[in-house]
Structure 1
Amino acid sequence: MGVTASSSMARNHLSAYLQEACFWAAQKTYQRFKLLQYKYSIEEYFQIANSGVNPPEKIFKSFDFEYSHTNIEGYAKTAIFRFINNTIYRHDLEAKRVKFSDYGLLKDLSHKELREALISKGITQAKSDTYYLVWQCFDEIYQPNQSQGSRSLEPPSQKHLKQIADYYNQRLNKIEISAVPASEEKIKEMLETCIQAARDYRTKRFIPLDNSDYMSDSTPTLWDTAIQEEEREQVQSLIARLFEEIPETGQILLKLSQGLNLTQIEIANVLKNKFPELQKQYQVARQLGKYNNTFLKNFINEWNKIDPEIRLSDERDIERIKNSLSECLQSHCQKMFYTTLDRTVKQYAHEKKI
């Protein structure tokens, strides 16, 4: 048998092997895009998946075959799932539109995303602080009702805008930001700027993948590897354990920053009496950076032990999962505050009855 025939047979075997991964990814995508089920069937997603693995060897372009613990099937499933999703987002405007309403997008944003979105829009650091504060006030004041949900959140009413403006102006007086008080109209304008910046930012973050090199940056992210619910629980459990290992100062800083979304200036004002070394914004920024980086590296080391399916080792890997891990850490810190608040409220209600 010639080399060409052998290569052809190997390619056919690899294509057959990938069919199960293609079908799995098609099913997952069908479940994800519930609002598009009238338009796309599982079979159509399956066809898209197959177009992404033709020829089959390109899916493994950046796969590390020398890493003995790597799970080839898991790698293929995740990579194909991402390819289908990217294809739909690239070609279907409705898919982009139905994911979030304008104000639903603001609810979905992490504070890190908004910071980077504003910077990418050309807004200076000093000015971005005011937009960030408006977003914080919006996030705290304007809550979706149970039937509506945050994904399809409607624009705030004039009453809500006034509440947001009042809260914004109140907080503005307490922190060291050089800005004038804002009216309801100004608040609305600033929120719309945040929305546009976020939409542009997320569009830029999406990189179209062509047929020749779409797998060149295909190492899955943290949440790509945590599609399964049990893996999500592993991630949250690891985050909780690593958080407890952080020194008290670091825990407090992360709780205030990630849990309450306080600005670095606000954190300095809160902590300056207890921690003299944290009286200035730059001191808080330096310590937050240190603890965030340490947490990130510790997470990668531990996650490689738990699930070596994907090798996370170099600086590219760190950058690749940084945003996802920041969101996980934020969720953990917020959950701690909510749990404490809920316990306090219940205790107060019990004491009041007595």
Structure 2
Amino acid sequence: MQPRKSITEIFSTFVQFEADRFSRWAIESSLRRSIQSCVNRTPQESSEYFWALYWYKFSQLPETEVLARQHLTAYLQEPCYWVSQKTVTNFASTQYKLSDCFQIAIAQVDKVLKGFNPNQGFGLKNYANAIFGSAIRETLRQKSEVDICTDWGLLRKITKKLLLESLQNAGLSPEEINAYILAWECFKTLYVPTKTGTSRQLSRPDDVIWQAIAKAYNTQSNQQVNSATLEKWLLSSAKAVRKYRYPTAESLNIPKGSDDSWEWLDNLTADKQESLINEIVAQEEEQARISQQTEINKVLVLAIAQLEPQLQEIVKLYYGEELTQDKIAKQLQMQQYTVSRRLKKAQEALLRSLANWSRDSLHISITSDLLKSINTVMEEWLRNYY
């Protein structure tokens, strides 16, 4: 992958794939004009970090939110690409390729911008890396779970809330949704696996079960429906759940519209830009940020070294080799719940060290939102560290 060099390129170009490999950087002309205009007015600012924070600030304003989001989507293309490549390699997925993982991740830009807080000592790219990686891993894990389930196994695993949302997403009327949900409730009550651990491979219910399901449905409903119709409804429900939970990824790169999209936003007023620049310079000094990142590394490395040897080993196996808790338990010859408890103990110790550093060094009050943000970045740091 050829890196982008100029500020103009970094904030106006998008990854293009060909045969699931990086092909080229595609330039969005209106974004190029927008960032070039800003750079021309402020030639002394050549740091990509400065411009990332600049557009993040504008993304919080309603009148510039759309343009700023597009610039930041362009900015986050490279970290999204590398996180996607690393994650898909570790999963060795036969269904999801690099480009698929990239689309899963880049769709999280809104979540990144909503959760990011520049006052908490973490850069936008670092925060985005954590969100991107988490989104891909969770999708691959859950998608695999859905793919290996039969329709009947899937229907036994889902919740009523998920089914309701899936049917609403499919465009069914309230009356149809109520009928489908009642059919599902009868199915789930009367079709129970006879052996544990077989829910994924459940086969179609036999005729006796179908007759019981139809009887239960008709008893609770104002209409009389035969088993064939109920089966059709249930299969449609399973299809709706799969489509709702894992829709086909669409390309989010290169904004849709004419070549002059957002042209009016190219002319940001000088007063507003100057005010924002002064705010950024006063609030965030790049050298201080680099120093903070170094300190964060030191804090976590020291915190890991202070863990008990067994906790260090569990953390290494979980984040470094990405083993499940069950596999760690087998390798270390202990119970899974013991691994879970000790892993949580290690995570809490590391999070406490980082939170205390944030409080003492950055003078930030420790809140639940801050702990959540710190934990997200810490998780990504641990994966990279190992």
Name the TM-score, length of structure 2 as normaliser: 0.40
Radius of gyration: which is bigger? 2
Name the TM-score, length of structure 1 as normaliser: 0.43
